[in-house]
């Protein structure tokens, strides 16, 4: 193992391999001198960090809830402790984030379900539909070639004609 690989391995063990992408605008707001902007960014980053990255279950009180990818499930009190923001302000900042269409808030028994809009952007997760589209592109081009040559693709639902002479 050369020196560069050793350095990479040390960094990977220290920081871990899972990273989150954050826009510079959010990072700038985290260091903003205006407390309201700073707390709003802190709340948003906390939600992104604490959101589920895979589907799972959460127990809030004595109730079990299914939590989807990109959702945070918890209480305002828990968010208050994580962000060092008062409970009343937590609701205010969540409402501001919801107005900006950055999150979706739903009340559930025992707490709150908060969905982060565009979570896949932050996690770097590649959508399955994109990979399926890429896989189907060669088949689409093959179908186009067959259609031009008069092959079986001429029988698709859009071009189907009833034969009366059979």
Task: Encode pLDDT of 27-49 as tens digits.
Answer: 999 999 999 999 999 999 999 99
Q: Is 64 among the domain residues?
A: yes
Q: Is 4 among the domain residues?
A: no
108 and 28 together in one domain: yes
Compute φ and ψ for 53, nearest 5 degrees: -100, -10
Confidence band for 12, pLDDT divided at 50, 70 and 90: confident
Residues of 19-53 as b/e, b for ≥16 C-beta within 10 angstroms? eeebeeebeebeeeeeeeeebbbbbbbbbbebbbe
Q: Is 130 among the domain residues?
A: yes
Q: With pLDDT > 90 as the criterion, what percentage of the chain qualifies?
A: 44
Structural domain boundaries, residue 82: 22-117
Q: Is 7 among the domain residues?
A: no
93 and 141 together in one domain: no
- What CATH number is attached to the domain comprising 105? 1.10.10.10
Confidence band for 163, pLDDT divided at 50, 70 and 90: very low
98 and 50 together in one domain: yes
51 and 70 together in one domain: yes
Q: Which among 73, 94, 117 is the end of a domain?
A: 117
58 and 140 together in one domain: no
139 and 68 together in one domain: no
Compute φ and ψ for 33, nearest 5 degrees: -70, -15
134 and 56 together in one domain: no
The rounded distance, in Å, linking the Cα atoms of 19 and 35 is 27
Task: Encode pLDDT of 58-84 as tens digits.
Answer: 888 888 999 898 999 999 999 999 999
Residue 5 CB neighbours (<10 A): 9
Residue 76 CB neighbours (<10 A): 17
Best CA proximity match to 60, nearest among 44, 71, 70: 71
65 and 83 together in one domain: yes
Q: Which among 73, 97, 117 is the end of a domain?
A: 117
81 and 143 together in one domain: no
Q: Is 105 among the domain residues?
A: yes
Task: Encode pLDDT of 81-101 as tens digits.
Answer: 999 999 999 999 999 999 999
111 and 32 together in one domain: yes
Highest mean pLDDT among 11-25, 99-113, 121-135: 99-113
Structural domains of the chain, count: 2
């Amino acid at each position: 193992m050369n020196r560069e690989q050793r350095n990479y391995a040390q960094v990977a063990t220290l920081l871990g391999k899972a990273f989150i992408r954050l826009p510079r605008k959010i990072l700038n707001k985290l260091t903003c001198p205006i407390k309201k902007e700073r707390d709003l960014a802190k709340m948003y980053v906390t939600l992104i960090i604490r959101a589920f990255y895979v589907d799972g279950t959460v127990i809030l009180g004595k109730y079990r809830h299914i939590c989807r990818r990109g959702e945070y499930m918890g209480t305002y009190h828990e968010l208050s402790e994580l962000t060092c923001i008062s409970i009343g302000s937590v609701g205010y900042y969540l409402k501001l984030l919801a107005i900006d269409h950055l999150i979706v808030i739903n009340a559930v028994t025992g707490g709150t379900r908060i969905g982060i809009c565009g979570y896949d952007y932050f996690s770097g997760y590649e959508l399955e539909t994109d990979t399926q589209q890429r896989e189907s592109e060669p088949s689409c081009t093959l179908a186009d070639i067959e259609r031009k040559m008069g092959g079986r693709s001429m029988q698709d639902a859009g071009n189907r004609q009833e034969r009366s002479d059979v």
